[in-house]
Amino acid sequence: VPSPDLSVWGIVVAAGSGSRFGTTKQYELIGGRSVLDRAVDATLHACGGVVAVVPASDVERLRRDDVLYVGGGSTRSASVRRGLDAVPAVADVIVVHDGVRPNAGPALFDAVVAAVRGGAEGAVCAIPLTDTIRRADGGTVDRSDLVAVQTPQAFRAEVLRRAYEGEGDATDDATLVEAVGGRVVVVAGAPDNIKITHAHDLAVAAALIGCPP
Amino acid sequence: VPSPDLSVWGIVVAAGSGSRFGTTKQYELIGGRSVLDRAVDATLHACGGVVAVVPASDVERLRRDDVLYVGGGSTRSASVRRGLDAVPAVADVIVVHDGVRPNAGPALFDAVVAAVRGGAEGAVCAIPLTDTIRRADGGTVDRSDLVAVQTPQAFRAEVLRRAYEGEGDATDDATLVEAVGGRVVVVAGAPDNIKITHAHDLAVAAALIGCPP
């Protein structure tokens, strides 16, 4: 077993209070393991250490020897900032993963980290859009050059830290990295790497993993 | 039981040969019923008659008293044209539905037909995009006014026929209707109204319907 690569750290963002979902979806169980633990385990595959950003009220309660829990902020970006504060300065690549994507496989983590090791300042995984896209007020949009962005996303640590120095807020880290001039590449994501958004997505994730409902 | 409204006809498009999927996915079973039969049954909810466009080699084999099977063409638009040829002239509203969307509920059909009855030339159901969207060559796209288009879609029959008079080809009927000046409105779709695209989508659809795998 190789020793963990402490130059790569992960931030798993799971600070949502479930205002849309109706409950804290990151703690729901799929095949006996929580959505969050599944996301953390996948991130640990590629990272020497993982910071999980969770609701502040849950920090004391959650316990895993291999995870550093920190309390989140009021927005996703505020939560990532808290996570960044907890990542050791030695890390030169930082992987950010949504805590509500329980199905991301190791290959996705390997791919985004390899892209950054290969010279990119950031790498996101993404998939082609399969549905026709239109503007709500009329007109079909050419989707041929559009992709749906997923996590994991990997970044050179100093670029990600620079992106989060300001007050910027975005639902996506690559957006902030590009706003400070960072170059972000796209690697192939996976259609089954779903985000738990609606209650029925738990059954979907279980079906994709092959767990009994 | 009200008698069927023969002024509304449905076209269920299921002529794909499965080149991407690896098999003819419209015949796969979910809870003992084929994907296509589920799509047809949902369409019959709102329509006095249904034309199902299937691979030409399957027309003789398929049998349902309440469905008219016709052979498809080499593109989706060619298949819709074959379907239109089989829809009686008396129909003044035509609903088009993907034969690989087995989970569309009756409310979606009611909504698109009602929108056309209410004056629109076309109505599609669509859902907001939940993922961040970016251009493959860089840059985040503002998704706030974008929607992912689903079927069913309903149209005034003469407008849909006019849209298909030319040689135009599109993956989406509303796109062709707008190309001839038709006005298309968007009604709320459903996140669980998935299109069977990948093999794993069968398990997903089953989970959403609540069928055992």
For chains A and B, count residue pairs whose Cβ atoms are closer than 8 Å. 119
Q: What is the mean pLDDT of residues A72-83?
A: 95
Mutation site, A96, A176, A184, A204, interface B, largest B CB count within 10 A = A204
Does residue A201 carry a pLDDT above 70? yes
Does residue B54 carry a pLDDT above 60? yes
Token pair belonging to B140: 């985040």
pLDDT above 70 covers what percent of chain A? 94
Count CA atoms within 13 Å of residue A72 on its CB side.
19
Model ipTM value: 0.85
Per-residue pLDDT tens digits for B71-108: 999 999 999 999 999 999 999 999 999 999 999 999 99
pLDDT at B20: 61
Q: Identify the bridge partners of residue A134 per DSSP, sorted by sequence position.
A: A140, B147
Q: How far apart are the first and last CA of chain A?
A: 34
pLDDT at A52: 98
Distance of CA B194 to the CA centre of its chain: 11
Question: Which amino acid appears at position A33 of this protein?
Answer: R
Q: Do A174 and B133 touch (CB under 8 A)?
A: no
| CA-angle at A174, arms to A34 and A82, nearest 5° | 55
pLDDT at A17: 79
d(CA B14, CA B74): 12
* pLDDT band, very low/low/confident/very high, at B30 (cuts 50, 70, 90): very high
Does residue A213 carry a pLDDT above 70? no
pLDDT at A191: 92
φ, ψ of residue B172 in degrees (nearest 5): -145, 130
Tell me the H-state helices in chain B. 35-46, 76-86, 106-117, 157-163, 173-179, 201-209
Q: Is B169 on the interface with A (CB under 8 A)?
A: no
d(CA B183, CA B204): 34
From B200's Cα to the closest Cα of chain A, the distance in A is 7
| CA-angle at A54, arms to A52 and A59, nearest 5° | 95
pLDDT at B66: 93
Which of A20-24, A61-65, A172-176, A192-196 is the least confident region?
A20-24
Q: Is A213 on the interface with B (CB under 8 A)?
A: yes
Whether A62 and A52 have beta carbons less than 8 Å apart is answered as: yes
Q: Which of B26, B190, B36, B45 is nearest to B110 (CA)?
A: B45
Look up residue B188 and give its DSSP letter. E
Whether A48 and A9 have beta carbons less than 8 Å apart is answered as: yes
Per-residue pLDDT tens digits for A78-105: 999 999 999 999 999 999 999 999 999 9
- With H, G, I as helix, E, B as strand and everything else as coil, classify residue A126: strand
Q: Which of B1, B193, B6 is nearest to B94 (CA)?
A: B6
Q: Do B148 and A171 touch (CB under 8 A)?
A: no
Contact list, A149 vs chain B (CB under 8 Å):
131-134, 140
Does residue A4 carry a pLDDT above 90? no
Per-residue pLDDT tens digits for B108-162: 999 999 999 999 999 999 999 988 999 988 888 989 989 999 999 999 999 999 9
* pLDDT band, very low/low/confident/very high, at B199 (cuts 50, 70, 90): confident
For chain B, list the strands marked E by DSSP. 8-13, 29-30, 33-34, 49-54, 67-71, 93-98, 122-128, 132-135, 140-141, 146-156, 184-188
pLDDT at A199: 83
d(CA B10, CA B106): 13
From A69's Cα to the closest Cα of chain B, the distance in A is 26
Torsion of CA B158, B162, B165, B170, to 10 degrees: -110
Helices B106-117 and B35-46, interaxial angle, to 10°? 40
d(CA B206, CA A30): 17
pLDDT at A93: 97
Neighbours of B94 (CB within 10 A): 28
Neighbours of A166 (CB within 10 A): 11
